[in-house]
Structure 1
Amino acid sequence: MRKVCSVLFVLTFMVTVFTGCSNNNLYTNKTTVENSVSTQTQAPEQAGQSEQTQSSDSSPAAETGNSQTAPATDTKGIDVIDYTKVKPNESGQIMVVMFHNFVESYPKGNNEYTTTFDEFEKLLPELYEKKYRLISLTDMLNNNINVPAGCIPIVFTFDDGTSGQFNMIEKDGKLAVNPRSAVGIMEEFYKKHPDFGLQGTFYVNLGVKTFQGSGNMTDRMNYLIEKGFEIGNHTKTHVSLPQVKTVQKMLEEVGGNQVLMNEIVPGYSFNSFSLPFGNASKDLKEYVIKGNYQGVDYKHSAVVLVGANPAPSPVSPKFDPLALPRVRSTGQKKVECDLAWWLDTLGKGSSQYVSDGNPETVTVPKDKQKNVDMSRLNGKQLVTY
């Protein structure tokens, strides 16, 4: 892990620094930008046909699939993003951050996976000033990333369903989120900065205590879902998967958690799975991805790891949703490859995902076009500059 992080750290010093996020200086008239190239691929359902690209003109080169230069503007000539100032790179890395415990102050012992509320309150404005914007894990998986030009998407995930992450209290005779919880802090920051977003995925073990506090489990889950948060599978009792030796036990842990979710919120299906302790099953991994338990089907589009690196872009050839790396939150002591380390490292280069502000296009520098898997564009237009 240390070697991988060190290599990535060196590479970031070899690239240029991006600028801008929803800044008026990022726009230009169509006559001033000359070096963008646009191509378009077929949607995934057409993958059986021969892959073609479409240029912005009808020249013979375009008909054969060769890219053609064209101004970075729409056909009506209105002002658009100046790529030379924004420097979008939508083939870059995205941090999927992994949080666990939230506390008022650090207890004695090992607190590497623990964050204080005060630190979390300081983290959100820091991310905002560094131009990060929250997106959901599902939108990342679907390459449905919609943040302003020059901004950087980031995903929050929370493991274990601890009360510090979220719990409810009685207020004026009604249930409300505890302001001294991660969700409460995020909601308060969202009121002041709605453009930051209010997203996150909570990986729960419904066979053990989850989000302890006021209200029942239906109250708690419905609150999160209605706010736009996602709920993910973390097994029924937080079992280490390599210790599970039979198909029946694996189905009970993975599928059994979905059965409990159906009882709490009927019809809600987990879309992703987080490996407890970061440990994968070698022999029964197929039952982690999909299966049927007590007549209930389950299927996970993504499996998130306990890792130390940002994830590849969803258009990258290296993108594997069933082995999605995460960046661990910073604990009591800063360590190499934690969130603080990556914020510093990625901020010195352009290896991370920077948005072009248009969810219908995927824009990359010309020298990074090789980092785009055309079959992953899902019908979006590829633009290079």
Structure 2
Amino acid sequence: MNDAPVPTRRSPLAVALVAAACCACGAQSAPEPPSSTPPAPAAPAAQSSSAQPSSAPDPASVGADELGQVPVLMYHRLTAQPTSVYDRTPDGFRAELERLAAEGYVPVTATEYATGRLDVPAGRHPVVLTFDDGDPTQFALGPDGGPAPGTAIAVLLDVAARHPGFRPVASLYVNAAPFGTADGAGVLAWLRDHDFEVGNHTQQHTNLSAAGDEQVQEAIVSGLREIQRAVPGYAVSSLALPFGAVPGTASLALRGSFDGTSYEHACVLLVGSNPAPSPYSTGFDPLNVPRIRSQDATGEEAAFGSTSWLDQLAANPAARYTSDGVADRISYPAASPNRPAPQYAGKAVAY
């Protein structure tokens, strides 16, 4: 099953890379609801050098902009014979990871991104790798107890081994019987034990926009329980919306309860078509995190796919998130159109 989107509201991110691409992406989505965000505050004055760590790199020297855009890439199935835009060939997938490593991207999980735990070296860029549907081409355990050769996770580990600093982490969103197993036993524990994130995709891949409030919460709780049966006590902290379909009461995707079980997510992932805002910026909305479908440079809707967007970010490096290398400082150019969210203003430094 893939996640071809049903009509839903657009991510709040205002894409500012290429005007033509902006228009094309907007055409895919319904109009954004009116924003309740207050006017952006003036850029804070830069702190004195004495207030910064003595070993901190100069933000300008690395082109730091921690209010820039973050690509959140979406994968489904690996197959030598793709039948939809949601399929990737193994060679295409490997080539994309190689490109990310060569261009200075560092994988982080969806929850690390959403909660601002972005421990990325100076001058490098976070990227979130997400996998929907728990397909066995994404992950399976081989006879040696490690990832089966040819699966997406095995490819990721191989690329990471040859590119120091390219973290082998990802967020995998599962339904019932994940990765072709009966109940997820073994596979989900391996992912947890190796720093991968296991996220909720509902047990039955439910279209939440067509469900009532109680059914929405039941579907999400059923997915949570499916995961926790395999990994008892595991804290499921993010949700990828099946089909990108937002519930009628949108906040129920973020938190709710059913039959005595509660859930609360750090972020909710759309199907999307454009890069996501920095988690430190006023543009970040945990209920509406856009994703980019992994896709080659040609083919159906390729203008909205990962190759096109990575090309645009490479051509416009000032638009992407670039780390200053200091965990408790948020650096950005004073001329940036983005502003830090109020809760991060105390750590923000304009230069």
Q: Confirm or deny a common fold (TM above 0.5).
A: yes
Indicate if the aligned counterparts of 1:290 and 1:297 stay in contact, CA closer than 8 A.
yes
Partner of 2:193: 226
Query: Quick check: 1:203–1:233 contact (8 Å CA) kept in 2?
Result: yes
Tell me the distance in 1 between the aligned counterparts of 2:130 and 2:44: 41
SS in 2 for 1:188: helix
Helix, strand or coil for the counterpart of 1:186? Answer: helix
Query: Partner residue of 1:59?
Result: none
Cα pair 1:131 1:151 within 8 Å, conserved:
yes
The answer on 1:154 being equivalent to 2:127 is: yes
Q: Letter of the aligned partner of 1:269 in structure 2? A: A
Of residues 124, 129, 133 in structure 1, which corresponds to 2:102? 129
2:81 pairs with one of 106, 120, 136 = 106
| Distance verdict in 2 for CA 1:5–1:139, change over 3 Å | closer
> Which moved further from structure 2: 67-76 or 190-199?
67-76
Q: Deviations over 1:110-136 (max 9, x none)?
A: x20111111112111211111111112
Please say if 1:202 is aligned against 2:193.
Answer: no
Query: Does the 8 Å contact 2:253/2:287 carry over to 1?
Result: no
Q: Distance in 1 between matches of 2:148 and 2:14?
A: 37
Matched, 1:176 2:143: no
Of residues 44, 48, 63, the one that matches 1:70 is 48
1:189 aligns with 2:156: no
Superposed CA offset, 1:225-283 (max 9, x none): 11101111111101211222361x3233111111222221111131111111111122x
Calculate the aligned-residue CA RMSD, in Å.
Answer: 2.8
Paired residue total: 318
Match of 1:91 in 2: 67
Q: What's the counterpart of residue 352 of structure 1?
A: 320
Contact 1:159/1:202, CA 8 A, preserved across alignment: yes
Superposition TM-score, scaled by structure 2 size: 0.82
2:134, 2:178 within 8 Å by CA — same for their partners in 1?
A: yes
**In the aligned structure 2, how far is the partner of 1:322 from the partner of 1:87?**
29
Q: Which residue of 2 aligns with 1:42?
A: none
The one of 179, 184, 187 equivalent to 1:211 is: 179
Percent identical: 30
Greater fraction of residues in strand: 1
Q: CA deviation at 1:169?
A: 2.0
Task: Return structure 1 stretches of 4+ with deviation > 4 angstroms.
Answer: 4-7, 71-76
**TM-score, normalised to structure 1's length?**
0.75
Unaligned runs of 5+ in 1: 13-52, 54-64
C-alpha distance after superposition, 1:312-344 (max 9, x if no partner): 111111110111111111157261121100111
Alignment of 1:220-299 (within 5 A): 220-245=187-212, 247=214, 249-282=215-248, 284-299=249-264
